[in-house]
Amino acid sequence: MTTTAGSMLSCNIDGAVATLVINRPPANTLTPELLAELSQAFDLLAKDDAVKAIVLTGTGRFFIAGADIRVLASMSSSREGEMIALQGQAILNQIEALEKPVIAAINGVCLGGGLELAMCCHIRLAAEGSRLGQPEINLGIMPGFGGTQRLPRIIGQSKATELILTGDPISAQEAKALGLVSQVVPPEDLLRQAQGMARTIASKGQVALRASLQAIRKGVELDLRDGLALEAHLFGGLCDTDDKREGLAAFLEKRQPRFVDR
């Protein structure tokens, strides 16, 4: 089934997997309007019980090349700039907080707001030849949609500071070495691999998926002691679910589990 969330975003739903494709030629630059469409699309998918995993990608050679320069140039006050940053952060936070896994299939250039968008996704795959970075410093500004906060948490403070202060992009292979992406695949295989991973994840019990995402997302904001306590609490909650009973029974009976998501 194919639906359209807006002129810059298309959505294809195949079974339990939704694929969102950014299509704003020539470079898929990020605008407030595109951010609004993304927010609307993710809100609809969050409410669709049939969708259990989401793939986000772009068209052509671009995931997102960065923010629209015309939008940046039009900002004439500190208050306006702050409001745009807060709007972008809120929408990316919305995606990160989704209780369904989101896989970014980075199909090419992924810079500035594009990398910030990719970083709020739960898993990132990149095509060979992709370039990733935060080049805002070259424009006399800085990341405003979470780049200064998420990048150090993902790759460490020293390297994140280097990339933000130099504005230099890195290759997909270096991004994998840093842990910024989990896999680098040939461009022609990227979408197939991402959708295959999404189908694998979608086949798991949704109660356990939600609990796992919550533990990972909230745990990084806690110290180890509190993170372990959160994990224990969530683990305990899963031990009284139909999916836990089915999963263990299926393992003992040497068959595939039939999860009911409760």
Q: Return the SS3 of 52.
A: coil
Ramachandran category for residue 167: left, alpha or beta (phi over 0 → left; psi -120 to 50 → alpha): left
The reply to whether 116 belongs to the active site is yes
Question: What secondary structure does DSSP assign to 57-68, as a single string?
Answer: EESTTEEE--B-
Tell me which of 37, 128, 136, 253 is the catalytic residue.
136
Cis (ω within 30 of 0) for the bond into 186? no
DSSP state of 4: E
Residue pair 88/113 in contact by the 8 Å Cβ criterion: yes
b/e sequence 91-101, b meaning 16+ C-beta within 10 Å: bbeebbebebb
Tell me which of 116, 162, 174, 253 is the catalytic residue.
116
Positions marked catalytic: 116, 136
